[in-house]
């Protein structure tokens, strides 16, 4: 007879106890405050999904996501990794492979959400490949100039913050801040310029087009001896500008930011620029667009402390957790009406919505009330006849509010969610319908560098 093993018995007892506790836990969490995302819902049984295998995959994902004390276990896993890491103190290379949905976005039901994986030094790695996923466009109609029968209203969509990299991210965490690494992708850059050149050819010289590119924080942070693992975004932009048609105005955001690189222009725990960084991007645009930028001291300000942003929720790094950000807000003084269009609903919103400062939600959603509608319009009390369409990613959310003193109407579109099958208009037709005379492409460098995002932009041309 085999000898009784106490350690095996204790292990089985612990596992059985956890399984029983999880089975008896009827009040399961629906949101992970730690990871700032919605958790999987329990799948509904169907014979079709049972035989396809999807039912058990979804059940496994739900069980994993809602396991008792999951956030505590994720923290413990992170702490163990940190304790066993061979990284230089204060330095860590992190590869994130999770979906980047936020609490307000919901999640992609087609794939599970793995836990971020930390990769210890040595730093030498293969060139990262960062390929954002396509996101299903929103189905929001534009208002028609002719009255149409109003269908039965559908439930209003919750505000959403759409991250710009939904599959893989490479971050160097150094001195309590996260730096997104950049690898030059010639094919992606060429595609960006080809798409903008196509817009220029279709729209002609009557529509003034601007190319506005926000670099990532990695371009302005001293990386000690690790500088050779990220490529120069400034060199990439020089290459890009030389390929644009003469009818497109390249806005030199880089030099303006570089002149202020020692200021708080990027968050430490989030991949976005701060409102101050966005202001310097706006100032560079003002010079190219032919008007004077409003001085910062003209704006009333607000401050929100304790922000742990997108990079923290992806990496769960303790150095970032100890070094939260402060969000400084510059409040608009121009009178405006901001309308966001969701499905069959019209929502009036605030350019800076301080309600998102409360609780565990992503506080970056304060900018443009998430900026996540299919399309939006801001009508101001400025009477100069100027109208602009801004096609943006989430970097544009902090940038657009500075335009209010200069335009009578500002139209805002995220190409991932604009749906011309519903509106009945591609972007050139949209521009013609609303008599718009300027078009600004406002993206950050990773969306310029990788083609999937730009495919959405090209799709709305025809």
Average pLDDT over residues 135-155: 40
Tokens encoding 354: 């301080």
Closest CA to 329 of 287, 348, 295, 357: 357
C-beta separation of 458 from 134 below 8 A:
no
pLDDT computed for residue 388 by the predictor: 98
Q: What is the mean pLDDT of the chain?
A: 79
Place of tokens 């995959």: 57
Tokens encoding 318: 């303790």
Backbone angles phi, psi at 121, to 5 degrees: -65, 155
Q: Give the model's confidence band at 82: pLDDT under 50 very low, under 70 low, under 90 confident, else very high.
A: low
Residue 153 has pLDDT above 60, yes or no: no
User: With a threshold of 0.85, does the pTM exceed it?
Assistant: no
Lowest mean pLDDT among 125-139, 257-271, 334-348, 418-432: 125-139
Q: Give the model's confidence band at 69: pLDDT under 50 very low, under 70 low, under 90 confident, else very high.
A: low
Could you give the angle at the alpha carbon of 352 between the alpha carbons of 318 and 261, nearest 5°?
55
Residue 226 has pLDDT above 80, yes or no: no
User: Taking the CB of residue 313, how many other CB atoms lie within 10 A of it?
Assistant: 25
Tokens encoding 286: 């003002």
pLDDT digit string, tens, across residues 283-311:
999 999 999 999 999 999 999 999 999 99
Sign of CA dihedral 200, 448, 389, 155: positive
Residue 242: helix, strand or coil by DSSP?
Answer: coil
Q: How far apart are CA 318 and CA 309, in angstroms?
A: 13
Q: Give the model's confidence band at 71: pLDDT under 50 very low, under 70 low, under 90 confident, else very high.
A: low
Burial degree of 29 (CB within 10 A; 0-12, 13-18, 19+): middle
DSSP H or E segment with residue 72: helix 70-84
Residue 341 has pLDDT above 90, yes or no: yes
C-beta separation of 189 from 449 below 8 A:
yes
Residue 149 has pLDDT above 50, yes or no: no
pLDDT computed for residue 361 by the predictor: 77
Average pLDDT over residues 224-235: 82
Residue 191 has pLDDT above 80, yes or no: yes
DSSP H or E segment with residue 313: helix 310-315
pLDDT digit string, tens, across residues 17-61:
766 766 667 666 665 555 555 566 777 777 777 777 777 777 777
Q: How far apart are CA 171 and CA 90, in angstroms?
A: 13
Residue 109 has pLDDT above 50, yes or no: no
pLDDT computed for residue 307 by the predictor: 96
N residues, the chain = 462
Q: Give the domain ranges of the chain.
A: 25-83, 169-459
pLDDT higher at 157 or 312 = 312
Strands 409-413 and 387-392: parallel
Residue 164 has pLDDT above 60, yes or no: no
pLDDT computed for residue 67 by the predictor: 66
């Amino acid at each position: 007879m085999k000898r009784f093993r106490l350690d095996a018995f204790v292990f089985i007892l612990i596992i059985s106890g956890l399984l029983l506790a999880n089975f008896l836990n009827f009040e399961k969490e629906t949101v992970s405050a730690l990871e700032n995302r919605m958790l999987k819902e329990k799948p509904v049984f169907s014979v079709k999904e049972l035989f396809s295998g999807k039912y058990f995959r979804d059940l496994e994902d739900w069980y994993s996501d809602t396991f008792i004390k999951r956030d505590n276990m994720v923290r413990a896993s992170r702490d163990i990794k940190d304790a066993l890491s061979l990284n230089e103190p204060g330095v860590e290379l992190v590869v994130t492979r999770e979906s980047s949905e936020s609490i307000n976005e919901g999640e992609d039901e087609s794939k599970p959400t793995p836990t971020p994986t930390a990769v210890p030094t040595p730093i030498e790695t293969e060139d990262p490949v960062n390929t954002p996923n396509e996101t299903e466009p929103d189905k929001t109609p534009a208002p028609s100039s002719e009255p149409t029968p109003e269908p039965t209203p559908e439930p209003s969509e919750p505000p959403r913050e759409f991250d710009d990299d939904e599959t893989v991210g490479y971050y160097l965490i150094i001195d309590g801040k996260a730096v997104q690494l950049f690898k030059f992708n010639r094919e992606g850059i060429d595609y960006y310029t080809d798409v903008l050149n196509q817009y220029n050819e279709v729209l002609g010289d009557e529509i003034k087009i601007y190319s506005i590119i926000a670099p990532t924080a990695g371009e302005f942070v001293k990386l000690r001896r690790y500088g050779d693992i990220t490529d120069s975004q400034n060199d990439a932009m020089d290459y890009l500008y030389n390929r644009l048609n003469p009818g497109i105005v390249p806005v030199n955001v880089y030099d303006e930011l570089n002149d202020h690189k020692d200021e708080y222009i990027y968050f430490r725990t989030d991949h976005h620029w701060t409102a101050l960084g966005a202001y310097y991007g706006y100032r560079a645009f003002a010079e190219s667009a032919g008007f004077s930028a409003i001085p910062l001291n003209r704006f009333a300000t607000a401050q929100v402390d304790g922000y742990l942003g997108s990079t923290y929720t992806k990496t769960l790094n303790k150095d970032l957790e100890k070094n939260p950000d402060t969000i400084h807000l510059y409040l608009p003084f121009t009178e405006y009406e901001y309308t966001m269009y969701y499905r069959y609903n019209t929502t009036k919103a605030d350019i800076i919505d301080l309600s998102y400062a409360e609780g565990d939600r992503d506080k970056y959603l304060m900018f443009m009330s998430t900026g996540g509608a299919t399309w939006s319009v801001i009508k101001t009390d400025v009477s100069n006849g100027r109208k602009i369409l801004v096609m943006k990613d989430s970097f544009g959310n902090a940038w657009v509010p500075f335009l209010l003193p200069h335009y009578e109407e500002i139209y805002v579109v995220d190409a991932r969610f604009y749906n011309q099958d519903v509106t009945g208009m591609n972007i050139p037709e949209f521009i013609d319908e609303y008599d718009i005379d300027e078009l600004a492409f406002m993206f950050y460098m990773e969306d310029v560098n990788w083609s999937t995002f730009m495919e959405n932009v090209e799709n709305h041309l025809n």
